[in-house]
Structures are given as structure tokens and as C-alpha cells.
Amino acid sequence: MRKTVGVLGICGVLAGCGALQVTPAAVPADSEGQTRPQSRPDGVQTEVQRPPSTARTADEFDTTSSEQRAVAAAAAPESAERALGSTIVSLGNAAQPGFWLETPLVTTPGSGRVVYPETGKSVQVDLIPVADGGSRLSLPAMRLIGVPLTGLAEVEVFSAG
């Protein structure tokens, strides 16, 4: 009986953690659902929309437009792109909009492309350096190239120019 109460108590505490709201450092706090300009590492200005604070599903968190998805998927690889290697990715911060990859494969921000060999699909992304050893891919990028949202997947990473 004592173990059951302890386990139930821990579950209750952990269930409350799901209500925590995290404001990612890369997305400045602004009014929910509003668009704002975002400067990519290559200097191109794009409009991104923060997900609403009530977002709970992948569709609600993915605020990219069909036009943005088409551009990210259709962009041809640059002839001067350089293979950076393969990395295992997990889902990044779903509240951070846009197409990006946080990875230790780069040391400076830049533009690049991620290929998921399982589907053969690729997506243009902003490459963001991290030092912690793990790679995280944005929700819109994962959905576009068919990477499972709840698992780990190996992708190939290329740097533009």
C-alpha cells in the first residue's frame, strides 16, 4: 500500500509539470499568435508566428504556412554545399517556429540542408551551433521530411556554401 501511494504521489507531481510554460530564448516574448520578423543567419528576413499558449498538438505548434513549407522543401541544394556529416536528431523546442537544426556539427550559425534518408526528402534549415552534443530539429522541418516526432532519427546535414 505504501508503494502505491508513493508512486501515485510522484505521478501527481509529474503531471503538474506538463502545465509549465517555457519561453524559448530564441523566440522573444511577444503577443501570442502574432507574427514578427526573424533574421536568419544568411541575412534573409522571414516572418514567423509564435504558436498560441494553448497549443497542444503538432498541428497547433507548427505555425509555418504552406508557402513556407513549399519554399523550404523545394529549394534546390546549393552547388557549393558541403557535407557536414550525419547526426541523430530529436524534436527541438516545438514553441520555436521556423526551419532550423541545433547541432554540434557547426560552430557558427549559417544556412544548410537536412536530408532524411528514410524518405529521401530534404529541407532547407538555419544551422544553429550547440555544444551539448545533441542535435535537435524543428517541428516543421521534422514534419516536412517525415521524421517521426517521438523518436530519434539519423539525418544527413549539409552546409550552404
Report the alpha-carbon distance of residue 34 to residue 101 in Å, rounded. 23
Residue ranges for the chain with pLDDT beneath 70: 1-48, 63-66, 68-79
Give the pLDDT confidence score for residue 132 in this predicted structure.
84
Q: Can you spell out the DSSP letters for 125-136?
A: EEEEE-SSS-EE
Whether 159 contacts 128, CB under 8 Å = no
pLDDT of residue 11: 37
Smallest Cα–Cα separation from 84: which of 63, 107, 66? 107
Q: Which residue type is seen at 83?
A: A
Are the C-beta atoms of residues 61 and 92 closer than 8 Å to each other? no
- Return the pLDDT at 77: 59
pLDDT digits (tens, 9 = 90+) for 87-127: 999 999 998 988 999 999 999 999 999 999 999 999 999 99
Q: Angle 108-111-113 (CA atoms, 0-180°, nearest 5)?
A: 120
pLDDT at position 67 is: 73
Tell me the whole-structure pTM to 2 decimals: 0.61
| pLDDT value of residue 133 | 80
Cβ contact 72:124 at 8 Å: yes
Beta-carbon contacts of 84 under 8 Å, excluding residues fewer than 6 positions away, are 103, 105, 106, 112, 157, 158, 159
pLDDT at position 4: 39
